[in-house]
C-alpha cells in the first residue's frame, strides 16, 4: 500500500490520500537525504588529500632485505609492503653518499644543480659551514603550501647550522640527529666502528626542532624513539593531511640495537639492527591501519645509497651487484624501491627505471601539489606506473661522483666513462680512453663489456650526455664550505 503513493499519490482513496501523501513525502525526503549523504561521503573520500610517509634507510644495500634476496635477514613488515605494493628492482639513489643523495631526494634535482657536488668534500661534517641552499624547494615546502603538516624524524645531514635545519626547509617539526652517527667521534677509527657498541665514542647530538636535547645521543634506543615520535606525529595530525619524512640513522655504522632485538639475528648485529628498523616500519603501518588512514597514505621506502663495504660484517650487502657506497658501480647507487598504498597502487614487481629523484614529482601527482616551474627538475612522475602499471617515463639515469659524470644508463645499457673505488687502499680515479658498456638487465653485476659490439649504443649515450651537460649550471659547492678542525 505504501509503494503505490510513491508512483502516483493522486489515485489513493480520499481518506488515505492526505495521510499516505505525508508518508510518501517523508520517505522521499529521507531517501533524498540518504542518497545525498552517500554522495557527499563518496565525494569526501575521493577528494580527501593523500598523506605521505617516506622512509629512508641509511647505507642499506640492495641485498639487505629478505624480499630482495638476503638469506638470513628477516624483514617481514617491509616484505609485506613489497608484496602488497610495488617492488622496484631498477631503482636508484641520486648519489652514492649521504648528503647529496638526501638533497636530491627532497628536491627532485641532481646534486650538481643544488650545490651538493663538492670538489673536495662529499658530505657535510660537524665542521661544515654549508647546507642545502634555502632557495631550493623541498617536498616539505611544496606540500606545506597546500596545507600539509610536515615532520622529519631521523637523520637530516643537509646542514646543522640554524639556517639550514629542517625547520627552515619546510618542516614544522624535527626530531633526530643532524648528521651521520659516526661523527663527533672520540678518536674515530675503523677498529672502533667494528668493535663493541658504545655511545661514549660518538658525541653526536639529538635535536628537537632547533635545540639539542641530548648529547651524546643514546643510540641504543634511537630507532625505538624515532618510531614513538613517528607514531605520535601521525596521531597528532590524523585529521589533516600530513607528510612524514622518516630517514633512519641505522644501518649506518656504528650499529646499535635495543635490548629487545640484540643478539637475535643469524646475521649478527647488522641483522639485529635491520630487524628493529623492520619492526619500526610495522609500527608505522599498524598506526595507519588503526586510524583508518592506510588506504589514504602513500608509503615509500628506499635507501640513501648502497652498503658501506669497508665495515665488513657491520656493513650491508649489494647482493649480486658490484661494489658499494661511494662508487658509481651498481652496488653504490641501485637500491630497493618500495611503494605502498592499498587500493590505489597496483601490486607487482616493476623492472622499469626509477629513482629517488622521482619521489617529489610523484608525490605532487598524488597530492595535487604544484611543482616548481622556475627550475629544472630531474624527476619523473611515476604515478601512472603505480596506479596502472604503465611504462615508466624514466629512460635514463646519470651517475655523478662529486662534480664529475662517471657513468650513464640509457635503457638496458650503462656506460662507464670514469671508474674509481672508494674506502679501499686503491681509490685511484681512472678516466677511461674507451668507455665500458654493460647490459645491466642481462648482466647486473657489470662483468661483461660490450662496447665493441654496440658502438651505436655508445653514440646515443654520448649524445644524451652532451644534451644533459648543456642544462647544467654548476653552483658553488656548499660541501666545500668547511672549517678545518682545530
* Catalytically annotated residues: 98, 157
Q: Give 334's DSSP letter.
A: B
Cell 658502438 identifies what position? 455
Nearest to 241 by CA among 282, 296, 284, 287: 296
Regarding beta strands 206-208 and 337-340, do their DSSP bridges make them parallel or antiparallel, or are they unpaired?
unpaired
Alpha helices in 221-379 (DSSP H): 222-236, 269-290, 330-333, 359-367
| φ/ψ (deg, to 5) at 123 | -140, 170
Q: Are 25 and 50 in contact (CB under 8 A)?
A: no
Nearest CA to 98 among 34, 203, 179, 22?
A: 179
234-257 burial by CB neighbour count: b if 16+ within 10 A, else e? beebeeebbbbbbbbbbbbbbbbb
Q: Please, what's the b/e burial string for 406-419 (b: 16 or more CB within 10 A of its CB; e: otherwise)?
A: bbbbbeebbbbbbb
Q: Where are the beta strands (DSSP E) in 162-310?
A: 173-176, 206-208, 211-214, 242-247, 297-303
Q: Which of 416, 417, 339 is nearest to 382 (CA)?
A: 339
| Alpha carbon distance 207, 217 (integer Å) | 9
- Residue 185: DSSP 8-state: B
3-state helix, strand, coil in the chain (%, to 5): 35, 20, 45
Closest CA to 70 of 259, 253, 275: 275
Pairwise CA distance, residues 151 & 424, whole Å: 37
Mind giving me the DSSP string for 411-479?
Answer: TTEEEEEEE---SSS----EEEEEEEEEETTT-TT-----TTT-HHHHHHHHHHHHHHHTT--PPPPST
Amino acid at each position: 500500500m505504501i509503494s503505490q503513493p510513491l508512483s502516483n499519490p493522486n489515485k489513493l482513496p480520499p481518506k488515505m490520500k492526505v495521510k499516505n501523501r505525508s508518508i510518501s513525502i517523508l520517505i522521499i525526503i529521507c531517501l533524498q537525504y540518504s542518497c545525498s549523504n552517500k554522495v557527499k561521503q563518496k565525494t569526501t573520500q575521493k577528494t580527501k588529500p593523500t598523506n605521505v610517509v617516506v622512509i629512508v634507510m641509511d647505507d642499506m644495500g640492495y641485498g639487505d632485505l629478505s624480499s630482495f634476496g638476503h638469506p638470513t635477514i628477516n624483514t617481514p613488515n617491509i616484505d609485506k609492503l613489497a608484496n602488497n605494493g610495488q617492488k622496484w628492482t631498477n631503482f636508484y639513489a641520486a648519489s652514492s653518499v649521504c648528503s647529496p643523495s638526501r638533497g636530491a631526494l627532497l628536491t627532485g634535482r641532481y646534486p650538481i644543480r643544488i650545490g651538493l657536488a663538492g670538489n673536495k668534500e662529499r658530505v657535510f661534517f660537524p665542521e661544515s659551514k654549508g647546507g642545502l641552499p634555502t632557495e631550493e624547494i623541498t617536498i616539505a615546502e611544496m606540500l606545506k603550501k597546500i596545507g600539509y603538516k610536515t615532520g622529519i624524524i631521523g637523520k637530516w645531514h643537509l646542514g646543522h647550522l640554524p639556517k639550514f635545519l629542517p625547520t627552515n626547509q619546510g618542516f614544522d617539526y624535527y626530531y633526530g640527529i643532524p648528521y651521520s652517527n659516526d661523527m663527533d667521534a672520540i678518536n674515530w677509527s675503523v677498529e672502533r666502528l667494528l668493535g663493541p657498541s658504545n655511545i661514549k665514542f660518538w658525541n653526536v647530538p639529538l635535536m628537537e626542532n632547533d635545540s639539542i636535547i641530548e648529547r651524546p645521543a643514546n643510540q641504543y634506543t634511537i630507532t625505538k624513539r624515532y618510531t614513538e615520535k613517528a607514531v605520535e606525529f601521525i596521531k597528532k595530525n590524523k585529521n589533516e593531511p600530513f607528510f612524514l619524512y622518516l630517514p633512519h640513522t641505522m644501518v649506518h655504522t656504528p650499529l646499535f640495537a635495543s635490548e629487545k632485538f640484540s643478539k637475535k639475528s643469524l646475521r649478527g648485529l647488522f641483522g639485529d639492527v635491520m630487524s628493529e628498523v623492520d619492526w619500526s616500519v610495522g609500527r608505522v603501518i599498524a598506526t595507519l591501519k588503526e586510524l583508518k588512514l592506510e588506504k589514504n597514505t602513500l608509503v615509500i621506502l628506499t635507501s640513501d645509497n648502497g652498503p658501506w663495504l669497508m665495515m665488513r660484517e657491520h656493513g650491508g650487502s649489494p647482493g649480486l651487484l658490484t661494489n658499494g657506497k661511494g662508487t658509481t658501480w651498481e652496488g653504490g647507487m641501485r637500491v630497493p624501491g618500495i611503494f605502498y598504498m592499498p587500493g590505489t597502487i597496483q601490486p607487482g614487481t616493476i623492472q622499469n627505471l626509477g629513482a629517488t629523484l622521482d619521489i617529489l614529482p610523484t608525490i605532487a601527482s598524488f597530492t595535487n601539489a604544484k611543482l616548481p616551474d622556475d627550475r629544472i627538475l630531474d624527476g619523473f612522475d611515476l604515478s601512472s606506473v603505480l596506479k596502472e602499471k604503465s611504462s615508466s617515463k624514466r629512460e635514463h639515469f646519470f651517475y655523478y661522483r662529486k662534480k664529475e659524470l662517471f657513468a650513464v644508463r640509457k635503457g638496458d645499457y650503462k656506460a662507464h666513462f670514469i671508474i674509481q673505488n672508494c674506502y679501499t687502499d686503491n681509490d685511484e680515479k681512472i678516466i677511461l680512453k674507451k668507455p665500458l658498456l654493460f647490459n645491466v638487465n642481462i648482466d647486473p653485476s657489470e662483468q661483461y663489456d660490450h662496447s665493441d659490439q654496440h658502438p651505436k649504443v655508445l653514440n646515443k649515450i654520448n649524445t644524451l650526455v652532451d644534451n644533459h651537460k648543456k642544462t647544467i649550471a654548476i653552483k658553488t659547492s656548499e660541501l666545500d664550505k668547511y672549517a678545518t678542525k682545530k
